[in-house]
Amino acid sequence: MNQTFWINPRGQIINCPPNGHYAYMKQNFSTLFRREPINEAEVHDIPYETGYIHIQNHFGQLNIRGKHDAIVGKKHMLRDIIFERLMENRNFVVNIEYNNKAMINQFGQAFRFNMPDQYDDMNVFLN
């Protein structure tokens, strides 16, 4: 399975073509954010800054990236997504990155959980 999607601040899931998440944001930027992007960096950063969560569901990993408040605010939804993946493929890694920008920066934090062994640790972490 190779899938990418966004969860918007209202909790709606936006499916994107594999690895096409930023192309989707660029194409729909004016609709989603009510203005045109100033530059390419805004296409990458504004979604995170405004509370979107990006999820890459690649074969052996589930990568979750977004602002701390956005991720914590959607923890039940994220648990459901992780649990659904757990039912399909019991062995995978969940990477959670708290970051306000598309690229990892010195202020971002990343956490890694091996499923299913660390499901309880991940569950406690999201509380």
- Please state, for a pLDDT cut of 70, what percent of the chain lies above it: 91
pLDDT at 91: 84
- Beta strands in 8-120, from DSSP E residues, in sequence order: 13-16, 53-58, 61-66, 92-98, 109-115
The 8-class DSSP code of residue 91 comes to S
Letter for the amino acid at 68?
H
**Domain count along the chain:** 1
Residue 82 pLDDT greater than 90, yes or no: no
Residue 88 pLDDT greater than 80, yes or no: no
94: containing domain: 3-125
Give tens-digit pLDDT for 3-62. 788 999 999 999 887 778 888 999 999 999 999 999 988 898 899 999 999 998 877 888
Can you give the pTM of this predicted structure?
Answer: 0.85
Name residues whose C-beta falls within 8 Å of residue 74's C-beta, 6 or more positions apart in sequence: 7, 11, 53
